[in-house]
Amino acid sequence: MTKKKTDLEDIVSLAKRRGFIYQGSEVYGGISGFYDYGPFGVTLKRNITNLWWKMFVDGREDILGVDAAIIMNPKVWQASGHVDTFTDPLVECKNCNSRFRADKIDVSKCPNCGKSGTFGEAKMFNMMFKTNIGPIDSDDSIAYLRPETAQGIFTNYKNIVDTIYPDMPFGVAQIGKAFRNEISPRDFIFRVRELEQMEVEYFVHPDEWEKSFEKWRTDIYVWFKALGLDAAKIHELDVPDNDRAHYSKRTIDFEYEFPIGKEELMGLAYRTDFDLLNIQKATGKSMEYIQKGSNNKFIPHVIEPSFGLERVMMAVLAEAYTEDEINGDKRIYLKLPPELAPIKFCVSPLLKNKPELVKKAREIYVNLQKKYHNVMWDDNGNIGKRYRRQDEIGTPKCVVIDFDTLADDTVTVRDRDTTKQKRVSVKDL
């Protein structure tokens, strides 16, 4: 019997016990809204970003990559509107001093202490992390950790047009850290204070924005499919006027049925010429694009698909998490698409105290490792334990070397999803 619904605790617990995700600074008691990625977590994360880069940058002639600095000239955040409007409404309970985002709770009653009428007026709280540049801690030295990767793209738009002059439409993509001082980080890695974004700013002629928006809207499903996400669990929400970010004229949130409920996985926004126009106004430099083959000039409009890596990780883990029963015993495994699986093969000798088996197994391990890189050697515990461990890591195939291997050069290959075993010739591995 396969379990239907996955609880968040199941995922948190597996992620911890198998070395995917740890609480940030855990030995010091943790720190709210920050997480660390363990050996398998970091590989899963890399596999996701690599897949994204392959799909949206390397695999397309119309999208180029950049990698901008996290700390930018503070004028960026003035012009972009973040200093004035990147805020959430903060309320504080007068009874227990707990703080909440006013738009996420019922403010008539405190969710922490249960008292009614303890909240005053909401204060607007800016979510950008501040720091100072240089040795002097003054208002003039204030800088921000970027709250989105997008501005690192907009500020390089002119460099890219001046140096490379791509055909219109074209996109510029970036993967990198962003920081948001969220009032209430929650639900594991769903809402964190240090996150990673994968964003494309797609520059189009103003007349073409709708066409391009619709194309992105459908193209995104290819990405969801590559992640192994069930399309039936993805829902589009056309964000109403009053809920949209200050820069957007149209936004579709792609929501996923997470274990915590239906929540935003990523966003697709029409940012108009808001950002380029702001840069032009603030710097006095022209952001116009000259249409090739004519002298037609215009400031491009922008379609922005914005992906949050933590939410992708959480969706991928939730989708892959499976429980079934093997010979009456409960089994947990991660049904990850092979391209995402942190370990592709696990190689082990049936018995670790038989030097001839170990020697042969090492040979096979080294050869597979050369070819597939993410291959794991595991000779701990009995074979059943090793299978369970690899199931929870999501390793698609386990290769076991036994005495028959020495005789006929065949190995047992065991499949994660079916648990079926097959004899395979070493040369066919």
List residues near ligand ATP by CB under 6 A. Answer: 180, 182, 191-192, 195, 197, 264, 266-267, 306, 308, 310-311
- SS3 state at 372: helix
Distance between CA atoms of 14 and 394, rounded to whole angstroms? Answer: 11
What's the closest the beta carbon of residue 150 comes to ligand ATP, in angstroms? 9
Residue whose CB is less far from ligand ATP, 197 or 405: 197
What's the closest the beta carbon of residue 308 comes to ligand ATP, in angstroms? 2
Look at strands 261-272 and 301-308 and give their pairing.
antiparallel
What's the closest the beta carbon of residue 48 comes to ligand ATP, in angstroms? 12
The residue number with the shortest CB distance to ligand ATP is 308
Is 124 in contact with 89 (CB distance < 8 Å)?
yes
CB-based contacts of 189, cutoff 8 Å, min separation 6: 21, 35, 310, 311, 313, 314
What's the closest the beta carbon of residue 21 comes to ligand ATP, in angstroms? 13
CA dihedral 55, 58, 63, 69 (to 10 degrees): 100
Residue whose CB is less far from ligand ATP, 262 or 330: 262
What's the closest the beta carbon of residue 285 comes to ligand ATP, in angstroms? 26
What's the closest the beta carbon of residue 213 comes to ligand ATP, in angstroms? 15
Give how far the C-alpha of residue 404 lies from the chain's centroid of Cα atoms, to the nearest Å.
Answer: 44
Residue whose CB is less far from ligand ATP, 268 or 383: 268
How many CB atoms neighbour CB 217 within 10 A?
A: 15
In Å, what is the CA distance from 75 to each residue of 127, 156, 270, 285, 301?
Answer: 17, 15, 23, 14, 21
Helices 8-17 and 309-320: crossing angle, nearest 10°? 100
The CA angle 25-27-31, to the nearest 5 degrees, is 35
Distance between CA atoms of 315 and 183, rounded to whole angstroms? Answer: 23
What's the closest the beta carbon of residue 199 comes to ligand ATP, in angstroms? 8
Residue whose CB is less far from ligand ATP, 306 or 410: 306
Residue whose CB is less far from ligand ATP, 272 or 390: 272
Tokens for 122, please give them. 């909401």
Residue whose CB is less far from ligand ATP, 196 or 391: 196
- SS3 state at 293: coil
What's the closest the beta carbon of residue 12 comes to ligand ATP, in angstroms? 15
Distance between CA atoms of 312 and 195, rounded to whole angstroms? Answer: 11
What's the closest the beta carbon of residue 300 comes to ligand ATP, in angstroms? 20
Residue whose CB is less far from ligand ATP, 182 or 339: 182
Look at strands 99-101 and 63-65 and give their pairing.
unpaired
Tokens for 190, please give them. 């769903």
Residue whose CB is less far from ligand ATP, 76 or 195: 195
Give phi and psi for 215, each to the nearest 5.
Answer: -65, -45
Residue whose CB is less far from ligand ATP, 177 or 297: 177
